[in-house]
């Protein structure tokens, strides 16, 4: 049986200083910026990476860090509950720094992928900051802080492309990894010096075997889904087999031990509803971002019934989405401290559905598309922040790290699965011999079916979300009071 152990760290005292809260938020947001940079920035240097390593495997270079994050997450989440959230967050950032340095000097693609595997640990930064906030702040302030630290990094995402491109032009792809290493090191020092350690620990042992089986299983299945469309589903089948065998072994392993890394026997009731909600809603939002990025490069002059130009609106479209994420996440966190997180979660899903269905007209009208992109961003920010708040508020304090990690895993799973499914819809409806900006395009009917399916995911997500909201109560947990 897992026991909760509360330890006095000497750092945690009941402060009410708004200045301290602002500093904490800034430092924790910097950790999440590292995660965004690790996942997103190398994509801007993909042509240079492919040329340097003399490969055409863009999918592997692109997806490697996200897949590594799925492998790292179960182990890091459980370790955070046992050894302390701050300690594991610092270790995670240092791993990301080491990985960036490996990528910086990698002489071949295999060593580069090893560096990306280390960098992928940064994927855990988001849920580790959430779990840490939930234990160093009062319940009301914690929920607002979660919205702030999970969404504010999106503001950086608005300007990041404009900052990264000059670095790539001046230093090549190595500039991206040099910046990533510096950011990770600075964030690690900031967390260690400024953020107090979480006072609640679990006395459970780390189920290393279970963590490895789950991580390998998730990583292999996600790799199959991510890469199968480009390299052939049949040729990638061994990955799927490895993933299914690992996940089956993990399931059998979990049922035989008392303290698994994730106890599937406890995944019932409200926590299961929350996870189902998030996998549907996150998948819909990510798939819509993919569509926005595609139609932005389709000129309306092609006469396909949709199109937003030659890419001139892409920065504005994604800038609106990133700004919306910040607004939605911060707003949902503020509301969660007053009415609970379940209602903002439902509101975000409803807003996401509205923005998605409005894109039926938006794919041929740039101003409406920008408005829809911003709306979807607000929905995504609210869903992300509220999802973490709902799940962690349902978990015992000694399991909040594991629970936050589980949220990140299902969000990644939903994002990969439904994004690939959407891509297959577009592939099945391609217009023969029509190319826009070097890529094949789909029919208007295919685009509209894509949007309808994404909207349907949002509609389905409202069912468990509404059930959660109806049964929810305002948060009253006051175990830790430092905020």
pLDDT at 295: 84
Task: Report pLDDT digits (tens) over 141-171.
Answer: 888 888 888 887 777 777 776 777 788 888 8
pLDDT at 79: 86
pLDDT band at 47 (very low <50, low <70, confident <90, very high): low
Is residue 134's pLDDT more than 80?
Answer: yes
Is residue 481's pLDDT more than 50?
Answer: no
Cα angle value 351/473/335 (rounded, 5°): 45
Give the rounded percent of residues in the chain with a pLDDT score beyond 90: 29
pLDDT at 60: 65
Is residue 46's pLDDT more than 50?
Answer: yes
- Are 402 and 410 a contacting pair, CB within 8 Å? no
Is residue 2's pLDDT more than 60?
Answer: no
Beta bridge partners of residue 440, listed in sequence order: 435
Is residue 358's pLDDT more than 70?
Answer: yes
Position with higher pLDDT, 206 vs 85 = 85
Longest dimension (CA), the chain: 68
pLDDT band at 474 (very low <50, low <70, confident <90, very high): low
pLDDT at 189: 96
Is residue 183's pLDDT more than 90?
Answer: yes
Per-chain mean pLDDT for the chain? 83
pLDDT band at 63 (very low <50, low <70, confident <90, very high): low
Spatial distance between the Cα atoms of 437 and 415, rounded to a whole number of angstroms: 25
Task: Report pLDDT digits (tens) over 241-260.
Answer: 999 999 999 899 888 887 78
- Are 148 and 95 a contacting pair, CB within 8 Å? no
Task: Report pLDDT digits (tens) over 408-465.
Answer: 888 878 887 888 788 788 888 888 866 666 667 888 899 999 999 999 999 999 999 9
pLDDT at 428: 84
Phi, psi of 435 (to 5 degrees): -125, 140
pLDDT band at 76 (very low <50, low <70, confident <90, very high): confident
Position with higher pLDDT, 304 vs 466 = 466
Position with higher pLDDT, 379 vs 429 = 379
The mean-pLDDT minimum among 6-10, 57-61, 317-321, 400-404 falls in: 6-10
């Amino acid at each position: 049986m897992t026991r909760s152990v509360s330890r006095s760290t000497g750092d945690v005292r009941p402060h009410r200083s708004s200045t301290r809260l602002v500093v904490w938020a800034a430092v924790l947001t910097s950790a999440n910026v590292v995660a965004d940079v690790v996942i997103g920035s190398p994509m801007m240097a993909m042509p240079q990476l492919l040329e340097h390593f003399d490969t055409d495997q863009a999918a592997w270079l692109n997806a490697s860090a996200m897949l590594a994050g799925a492998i790292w997450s179960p182990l890091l989440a459980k370790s955070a509950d046992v050894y302390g959230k701050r300690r594991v967050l610092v270790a995670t950032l240092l791993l990301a720094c080491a990985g960036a340095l490996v990528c910086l000097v990698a002489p071949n693609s295999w060593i580069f992928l090893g560096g990306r595997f280390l960098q992928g640990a940064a994927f855990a930064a988001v849920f580790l900051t959430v779990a840490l906030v939930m234990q160093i702040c009062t319940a009301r302030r914690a929920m607002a802080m979660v919205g702030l630290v999970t969404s504010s990094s999106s503001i950086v995402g608005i300007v990041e492309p404009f900052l990264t491109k000059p670095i790539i032009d001046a230093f090549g792809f190595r500039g991206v990894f040099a910046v990533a290493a510096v950011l990770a090191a600075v964030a690690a020092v900031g967390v260690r010096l400024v953020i107090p350690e979480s006072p609640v620990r679990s006395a459970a042992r780390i189920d290393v075997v279970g963590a490895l089986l789950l991580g390998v299983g998730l990583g292999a299945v996600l790799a199959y889904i991510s890469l199968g469309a480009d390299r052939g589903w049949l040729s990638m089948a061994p990955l799927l087999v490895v993933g299914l065998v690992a996940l089956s072994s993990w399931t059998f392993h979990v049922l035989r031990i008392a303290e698994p890394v994730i106890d599937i026997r406890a995944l019932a009731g409200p926590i299961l509803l929350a996870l189902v909600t998030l996998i549907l809603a996150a998948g819909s939002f990510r798939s819509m971002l993919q569509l926005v990025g595609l139609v932005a490069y389709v000129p309306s002059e092609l006469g396909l019934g949709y199109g937003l130009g030659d890419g001139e609106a892409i920065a504005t479209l994604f800038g609106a989405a990133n700004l919306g994420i910040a607004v939605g996440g911060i707003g949902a966190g503020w509301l969660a401290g007053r009415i609970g997180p379940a209602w903002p979660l439902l509101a975000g899903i409803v807003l996401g559905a509205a923005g998605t269905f409005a894109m039926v007209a938006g794919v041929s009208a740039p101003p409406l598309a920008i408005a829809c992109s911003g709306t979807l961003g607000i929905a995504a920010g609210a869903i992300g922040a509220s999802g973490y708040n709902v799940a962690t508020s349902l978990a015992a304090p000694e399991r909040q790290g594991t629970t936050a990690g589980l949220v990140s895993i299902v969000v990644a799973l939903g994002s990969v699965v439904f994004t690939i499914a959407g891509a297959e819809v577009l592939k099945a409806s391609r217009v023969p011999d029509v190319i826009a900006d070097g890529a094949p395009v789909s029919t208007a009917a295919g685009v509209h079916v894509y949007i309808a399916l994404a909207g349907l995911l949002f509609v389905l997500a409202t069912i468990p979300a509404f059930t959660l909201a109806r049964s929810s109560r305002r948060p009253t947990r006051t175990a830790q009071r430092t905020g």
